[in-house]
Amino acid sequence: MRGIGFIGGEGPGYEQSAILAKGADLIAAADSGLLAAEAAGLRPDWIVGDMDSLGELSRLDRYPPDRVLRYPSDKDYTDTELLLSLLWEQGCDELWLLGGGGGRTDHLLAIQALFEREKSPDRWITAAEDIRQVRAGHPLEVAGAQAVSGGQAPGSLVSVFPLGIGPWELESRGLKWPLSGLPWERGFFGLSNVALEGDFMIRAIRGRFLVVLPR
């Protein structure tokens, strides 16, 4: 069951958000993520957060009161954490975040830190990046990835970061620099690899990884 959560910050755009949401079983919005969801022509099933970035609060009146979960500004969890918890509680086992790009660096790092947890989102789509979590047994296969200038040759940029506590082991196909056999450790990363043909595969043999692709 796929849940999509709209969060504040730069997202994939209204048209693309609407396309991505077509495959969702449940849609939720955290605080100002509601603005992006509504701009994409969507009506979230749930709205959660302290609503300090929402602006006009009267827009919440359009939704059933029991579907609007409002929290105080002084709280122990971020709006994004509350959104993820809600989607998991509603039975979602695949979670995508839309938004969260640009803005404050601490906010970006906070979202990235969510992927370090064992129970974590599967995908994070901003205005500029498509970020995927790759787990053992669930390979990432991409066809026709976005071509950008990478290094000395044009191709799709692919950056990889280990997640969690390890150990880590990867194999790949279609990348300029193969990932198989690399000594992955905490703090190690593979930056600006290139899928020259646009098609590639990354499979986690052990551990979890974050793969960052340009949009």
Cα 17 from Cα 150, distance rounded (Å):
27
* CATH number, domain 2-127, options 3.40.50.1820, 3.40.50.10240, 3.20.20.70, 1.20.140.10: 3.40.50.10240
Alpha carbons 207 and 118: distance in angstroms, whole number: 10
Q: Where in the chain is the domain with CATH 3.40.50.10240?
A: 2-127
For β-strands 68-70 and 94-98, DSSP reports them as unpaired
CB 93 within 8 A of CB 176: no
Structure tokens at 13: 């755009």
Contact 200, 173 (CB under 8 A): yes
**CATH 2.60.120.320 intervals, the chain:** 134-214
Is the CATH code 2.60.120.320 the one for domain 134-214?
yes
The reply to whether the predicted model has a pTM over 0.85 is yes
pLDDT given at position 152: 41
pLDDT in tens, the chain (215 residues): 999 999 999 999 999 999 999 989 999 999 999 999 999 999 999 999 998 888 888 889 999 999 999 999 888 899 999 999 999 999 999 999 999 999 899 999 999 999 999 999 999 999 999 999 999 989 999 986 654 444 444 458 999 999 999 899 999 999 999 999 999 999 999 999 999 887 899 999 999 999 999 98
